Amino acid sequence: MQVNPWALVSVALVVVVTFYLGHRTSRFARTTHDFLVARRTVRSRRNAAAIAGEYISAASFLGVAGLVLKEGADALWFPIGFTAGFLALMLFVAGPLRRSGAYTLPDFMEARLSSPALRTASTWFVVFIGVLYLLPQLQGAGLALMMIMPAPAWAGSVLVTVVIAYNVMGGGMRAITLLQAFQYWFKLYAIAAPTFVLCAVFVAGGAGAPGSAGSLDEPAPPNFAAQTAVTVDTDVTLGVDSPTRVRLDDGSGDGGSGDGGWTTWRPGSQHAVDAGSTLTFPEGAAVPTVGQATSANLDWLLPSTDLTGLLSTYSLLLALLLGTMGLPHVLSRFYTNPDGKAARRTSVQVLLLLGLFYLFPVMLGLLSRMFVPELLITGDTDAAVIALPTAMLSGVTGQLLAALLAAGAFAAFLSTASGLVSSMSGVIATDLLAGKVRDYRVASVGVAAVAVVLAVTLPIDDLALSVGMSFALAASTFAPLLVLGIWWRRLTWLGAMVGMCTGGGLVLLAVVLNAVSAHTGEWAPWLVQQPALVTVPVAFGLTVLVSTATAGRIPEDVGAVMLRLHAPDPLGFMRDRAVQRFGRAEEHTRTTPGRHRK
Amino acid sequence: MGDPKDPSDPAGTQGGIREPDPTLGKPAKPFAPEPVAARSPEPPSQESPSQESWSPEPRPPGSVPSHAATSHAAASRSSESRSSEPRAPEPRQPRIRRQRVVLAEPSRSSNSLRARVELEEQTSWGELLIKDLVKVQLRTAVLLGLLVFGVLCAIPAVFYAVPAVTQLRLAGIPVPWLLLAVAPFPLMFGVGLWYNRLAERRERDFVNMIEH
């Protein structure tokens, strides 16, 4: 590994700017109302940039390109689903959710169904989904830092955690709004500029340019453009489609028989390679792939046309579509809008911002298939975005572009993780603690500490896939409750509880089965890896069934609540539940001695 | 205007927005949760009876009225049902002849307040108005959602049913990549804009109906 000094400088800059912006804006945050919902003063344009900034996580910035490199056309469903989720959110949830006046997701549940039990249950689900989503961000940060400097895997996770814990503790939602908006525009620049440069280089050089691994529409895997040595960091099993010459050097010296350790891998058999080995391929050799990655370029280029592919595509789409509206950190940003109309406008603008962004990781994924195919061997496809510029351009230009991309990746870790920590702290502070500012700070430190410990100790998974599981969980727990709660008068808390627990339980079962299957020979079918196609309809159906059976428990104030959710904003039926519980910000400054003079 | 005796009259709906209740904003009637029942002792005609009962002299619009101070408060309260009705100036200073300047229509606050109270108190009419609004907003959302998600779900189905489609190319770029990597985003943004316009128009109509 060579150290890229530019990348170190740019990542340090991003961290410092984030730290500084958070520090400055947190001076204005004093009350619980500031910390939870930024005093409900965020206009739609700023909030849209903040939501997009928070939503474009490592899974989008690094993971999408990696998946395109590995799976090709089928991976394109990830950006589509990520964006379509906001369309569903806008159509069915955004405006009424804001008008409910709630300040957290559990608070909305209690406002709608007046059940403390449901509130407690959803608190735990919020925390669970948040941690599940936070872990890959922190682990990705460790991975990214390892790519640009010789650091242990925990260093990046700890760095990101410290910065966001400081910002969230200092100003909560008030502080991170500006940060996340800034980080969206920075990320867009950090991925767009390198993509334009690399595409220009590619077009100038053509598909057969030096360093390219061959045209993408050949029915063969990509080839190595020069003799290439690849060091494998974890045990992998590789497969090839055509006889491939390879020299295996596993450090012990028994390089096999024949001429200087060279052997030939035959197609059809799997070759186990131990960690620490170095594989050397001659020029023109076909690139082998790990496990299930699509090896031949033509299969990669075309979408899958079999029934399993179709069903798992639907399952993925459903999870992303409904999962977005159940993600607590996304929803908690909508509470900061001044009214329901602004919330709806926010989500339209988010659609534009996300659509713009997702063009670029796909392009980078295409290029990385041609220029860094050796990542298919190590299975480390999330590194594609950062490894690509130096593979295509030698010298300072490539290093500068790689530095920009690394900085963008760090902005992604920082903004997503800060949104997650702040929404979890809000929920814990108001539901498990007393809801004072000090409780919020304690909660944020606690959440950050638990998350970083878990991130360092648990094994690392594919970024986009583990994020996909938390989407499935959100889609099977909160999405049915939100949609039915907003549009269906006859929902009862019992139905909501049964639906949420069953949907969540099924997804957790799938997570466990998946982990077991990963250690015992990959026997799990596609449904276990992408369970939303079953769990979401089950959750919806059970919620409706049990609600209908317990019609006597329909809350008495359902009419008033529906009026508040749906009456247009100018009529003024909105009640701010945060103000009702914690008091108005101005009153609070008057009762706090001395602080308001700052 | 629908029959005021039957607030659930389906003929009163028009594009999902119900015609306003004719009793909305009418003065001289104490508020009651059931407007139809409460109105029966009152004369059922629209506006002239209340006008006559409160202001003894007929006033041509635009003239300076000269009321006694006692009847003034009641008169102005009654006159608010009619937007063209001028308000009386301060009657205690007769020597200074003040010209009444009407800069805008009289405030509709009592009108809209009444309507809001009807909504908030969940009278059968108020609840019906909200149910209609919810229904029409939901219908729009579901239709537009079905449009987009139908198109999205059709793409893999077409690939599955007609695999030859995946081989097509447009300007050298495979059609599946165009369909998946580029096309959905403008579609979703366009539908988002469309829904936003529709929903905001519905809400504006609803507010106008309540406040007039």
Query: Which residues are CB-contacts of A560 (< 8 A; sequence separation ≥ 6)?
Result: B120, B122
Whether residues A188 and A275 fall in one domain:
no
Whether residues A243 and A361 fall in one domain:
no
Q: Is the pLDDT assigned to residue B15 strictly greater than 80?
A: no
Q: Do B141 and A92 touch (CB under 8 A)?
A: yes
Q: Is the pLDDT assigned to residue A524 strictly greater than 50?
A: yes
The amino acid present at A538, given as its one-letter code, is: V
Residue B204 covered by a domain = yes
pLDDT at A386: 85
Q: Do B192 and A351 touch (CB under 8 A)?
A: yes
State which residue of chain A sits closest to B119, comparing Cα positions. Answer: A563
Read off the pLDDT of residues B24-44 as tens digits, 9 standing for 90 and up.
555 544 444 444 444 444 444
Q: What's the token pair of residue A67?
A: 């998946």
Whether residues A258 and A140 fall in one domain:
no
Name the residue among B132, B120, B66 with its Cα closest to residue B93: B66
Q: What percent of chain A has pLDDT over 90?
A: 41
CA quadruple A585, A582, A337, A101: dihedral sign: negative
Q: Is the pLDDT assigned to residue A70 strictly greater than 90?
A: no
- Helix, strand, or coil here: A250? coil
d(CA A28, CA A494): 41
Residue B82 covered by a domain = no
Query: Using 50, 70 and 90 to split pLDDT, how confident is the model at A444?
Result: very high
Chain A hits for B195, CB-CB cut-off 8 Å, are 90-91
When scoring A44, A45, A67, A305 by the number of chain B Cβ atoms within 10 A, the one with the most, hence best to mutate, is A305
Residues A538-543 have a mean pLDDT of 95
Query: Which residues are CB-contacts of B48 (< 8 A; sequence separation ≥ 6)?
Result: none
Separation in Å, CA of B129 to nearest CA in chain A: 10
More confident residue, B58 or A134: A134
Residue B15 covered by a domain = no
Q: B189 and chain A: CB distance < 8 Å anywhere?
A: yes
pLDDT at A592: 53
Q: B157 and chain A: CB distance < 8 Å anywhere?
A: yes
pLDDT at B60: 46
Read off the pLDDT of residues B135-169 as tens digits, 9 standing for 90 and up.
999 999 999 999 999 999 898 888 888 887 777 77
Residue A588 covered by a domain = no
Query: Using 50, 70 and 90 to split pLDDT, how confident is the model at A462?
Result: low
DSSP per-residue letters across A534-555:
HHHHHHHHHHHHHHHHTGGGS-
Neighbours of B200 (CB within 10 A): 15
Asked if residues B19 and B12 have their Cβ atoms less than 8 Å apart, the reply is yes
Chain B hits for A567, CB-CB cut-off 8 Å, are 119, 130, 133, 206
Residues 106-145 of B with CB under 8 A from A: 116, 119-120, 122, 126-127, 130, 133-134, 137-138, 141-142, 144-145
The amino acid present at A491, given as its one-letter code, is: L
Residues A211-235 have a mean pLDDT of 61
A368-382, A560-574, B175-189: which has the minimum mean pLDDT? Answer: A368-382
Which residue stretches of B80-161 are H helix?
Answer: 109-120, 124-161
Of A79, A351, A566, the CB nearest to B137: A566
Whether residues A398 and A506 fall in one domain:
yes
Query: Using 50, 70 and 90 to split pLDDT, how confident is the model at B6?
Result: very low
Mean pLDDT comparison of A223-237, B45-59, B128-142, highest-scoring range: B128-142
Supply the range of the domain harboring residue A123.
Answer: 5-202+301-581
Asked if residues A332 and A173 have their Cβ atoms less than 8 Å apart, the reply is yes
CA quadruple A97, A102, A106, A109: dihedral sign: negative
Separation in Å, CA of B9 to nearest CA in chain A: 20
Q: Do A341 and B203 touch (CB under 8 A)?
A: yes
Chain B hits for A343, CB-CB cut-off 8 Å, are none
pLDDT at B22: 60
Q: Do B156 and A310 touch (CB under 8 A)?
A: yes
State which residue of chain A sits closest to B191, comparing Cα positions. Answer: A87
pLDDT at A371: 83
pLDDT at A2: 62
Separation in Å, CA of A141 to nearest CA in chain B: 27
Whether residues A266 and A413 fall in one domain:
no
Residues A568-587 have a mean pLDDT of 80
**C-alpha separations of B111 from A237, A501, B21, B106, B204 in Å:** 76, 47, 12, 11, 17
Whether residues A392 and A469 fall in one domain:
yes
- Domain harbouring A98, CATH code: 1.20.1730.10
pLDDT at B116: 76
**Total domain count, chain B:** 1
When scoring B17, B131, B191, B203 by the number of chain A Cβ atoms within 10 A, the one with the most, hence best to mutate, is B203
Separation in Å, CA of A314 to nearest CA in chain B: 7
d(CA A437, CA A448): 17
Query: Using 50, 70 and 90 to split pLDDT, how confident is the model at B23?
Result: low
More confident residue, A213 or B123: B123
Question: What residue has token string 């220029």?
Answer: A371
Q: Is the pLDDT assigned to residue A161 strictly greater than 90?
A: yes
Residues A570-597 have a mean pLDDT of 69
Q: How far is CA A575 from the centre of its chain?
A: 32
Whether residues A188 and A246 fall in one domain:
no
**Distance, first Cα to last Cα, chain A:** 49
Q: What's the token pair of residue A69?
A: 């490199």
Name the residue among A135, A139, A132 with its Cα closest to residue A474: A132
Read off the pLDDT of residues B52-73 as tens digits, 9 standing for 90 and up.
444 444 444 444 444 444 444 4
Q: Is the pLDDT assigned to residue B111 strictly greater than 90?
A: no
CA quadruple A393, A397, A205, A356: dihedral sign: positive
Q: Do B145 and A348 touch (CB under 8 A)?
A: no
pLDDT at A12: 92
Q: B56 and chain A: CB distance < 8 Å anywhere?
A: no
Q: Is the pLDDT assigned to residue A34 strictly greater than 60?
A: yes
Q: Do A76 and B180 touch (CB under 8 A)?
A: yes
Q: Is the pLDDT assigned to residue A254 strictly greater than 70?
A: no
Residue A334 covered by a domain = yes
Residue B151: φ, ψ to 5°: -65, -45
pLDDT at A247: 72
Read off the pLDDT of residues A262-279 as tens digits, 9 standing for 90 and up.
777 776 666 777 666 777
Q: Is the pLDDT assigned to residue A144 strictly greater than 70?
A: yes
pLDDT at A528: 82
Q: Is the pLDDT assigned to residue A234 strictly greater than 70?
A: no
Q: What's the token pair of residue B87?
A: 């308000």
Q: What percent of chain A has pLDDT over 70?
A: 83
State which residue of chain A sits closest to B204, comparing Cα positions. Answer: A568
Asked if residues A195 and A364 have their Cβ atoms less than 8 Å apart, the reply is yes
**Total domain count, chain A:** 2
- Bridge partners (DSSP) listed for residue B169: B174
The amino acid present at B160, given as its one-letter code, is: Y
The whole-chain average pLDDT of chain A stands at 84
Whether residues A24 and A145 fall in one domain:
yes
Size of interface A-B (CB pairs under 8 A): 134
Asked if residues A370 and A201 have their Cβ atoms less than 8 Å apart, the reply is no
Q: What's the token pair of residue A64?
A: 């999408």
Residue B203 covered by a domain = yes
Query: Using 50, 70 and 90 to split pLDDT, how confident is the model at B81?
Result: very low
Residues A547-563 have a mean pLDDT of 90
A35-39, A84-88, A103-107, A378-382: which has the minimum mean pLDDT? Answer: A378-382
Whether residues A25 and A112 fall in one domain:
yes
Query: Using 50, 70 and 90 to split pLDDT, how confident is the model at B177?
Result: confident
Asked if residues A412 and A57 have their Cβ atoms less than 8 Å apart, the reply is yes
Query: Using 50, 70 and 90 to split pLDDT, how confident is the model at B48?
Result: very low
Residue B191 covered by a domain = yes
Query: Using 50, 70 and 90 to split pLDDT, how confident is the model at B92?
Result: low
Q: What's the token pair of residue B66?
A: 């000269």
- A56's enclosing H/E stretch is none
pLDDT at A529: 81
- Bridge partners (DSSP) listed for residue B18: B13
pLDDT at A57: 87
pLDDT at A298: 67
Separation in Å, CA of A353 to nearest CA in chain B: 9
Name the residue among A379, A391, A522 with its Cα closest to residue A71: A379
Residues A408-425 have a mean pLDDT of 93
A567 in the Ramachandran plot: left (φ > 0), alpha (ψ -120 to 50) or beta? beta
- Bridge partners (DSSP) listed for residue A228: A281
Whether residues A344 and A471 fall in one domain:
yes
Residue A413 covered by a domain = yes
Residue B16 covered by a domain = no
Residue A207 covered by a domain = no
More confident residue, A463 or A136: A136
DSSP per-residue letters across B148-169:
HHHHHHHHHHHHHH-GGGGG-E
Asked if residues A509 and A131 have their Cβ atoms less than 8 Å apart, the reply is no
**Distance, first Cα to last Cα, chain B:** 14
For chain A, the residue count is: 598
Neighbours of A265 (CB within 10 A): 21
State which residue of chain A sits closest to B181, comparing Cα positions. Answer: A76
State which residue of chain B sits closest to A358, comparing Cα positions. Answer: B181
Of A90, A568, A571, the CB nearest to B192: A90
Asked if residues A21 and A319 have their Cβ atoms less than 8 Å apart, the reply is no
State which residue of chain B sits closest to A315, comparing Cα positions. Answer: B153
Whether residues A268 and A152 fall in one domain:
no
Read off the pLDDT of residues A369-402 as tens digits, 9 standing for 90 and up.
888 887 877 777 778 888 888 888 878 888 899 9
Q: Do B130 and A563 touch (CB under 8 A)?
A: yes
Chain A hits for B124, CB-CB cut-off 8 Å, are none
Q: Is the pLDDT assigned to residue A347 strictly greater than 70?
A: yes
State which residue of chain A sits closest to B116, comparing Cα positions. Answer: A571
Name the residue among A207, A217, A195 with its Cα closest to residue A302: A217
Chain A hits for B166, CB-CB cut-off 8 Å, are 302-303, 305
Residue A595 covered by a domain = no
pLDDT at A39: 84
Q: Do A307 and B160 touch (CB under 8 A)?
A: yes
Of B127, B176, B196, the CB nearest to A344: B196
Residue B167 covered by a domain = yes
Separation in Å, CA of A345 to nearest CA in chain B: 7
Strands (E), A482-595: none
Question: What residue has token string 């914690």?
Answer: A582
Residue A534: φ, ψ to 5°: -100, -45
Q: Do B134 and A301 touch (CB under 8 A)?
A: no
Pairing of strands B17-18, B13-14: antiparallel
Q: Is the pLDDT assigned to residue B174 strictly greater than 90?
A: no
When scoring A68, A74, A80 by the number of chain B Cβ atoms within 10 A, the one with the most, hence best to mutate, is A80
Residue B155 covered by a domain = yes
Residue A594 covered by a domain = no
Supply the range of the domain harboring residue B150.
Answer: 133-211
Chain B hits for A563, CB-CB cut-off 8 Å, are 119-120, 122, 126-127, 130
Separation in Å, CA of B174 to nearest CA in chain A: 8
pLDDT at A344: 93
For chain B, the residue count is: 212
Q: Is the pLDDT assigned to residue A106 strictly greater than 60?
A: yes
Q: Do A92 and B145 touch (CB under 8 A)?
A: yes
Residues B161-185 have a mean pLDDT of 83
Q: Do B188 and A348 touch (CB under 8 A)?
A: no
Of A73, A95, A314, the CB nearest to B153: A314
Whether residues A193 and A317 fall in one domain:
yes
pLDDT at B80: 43
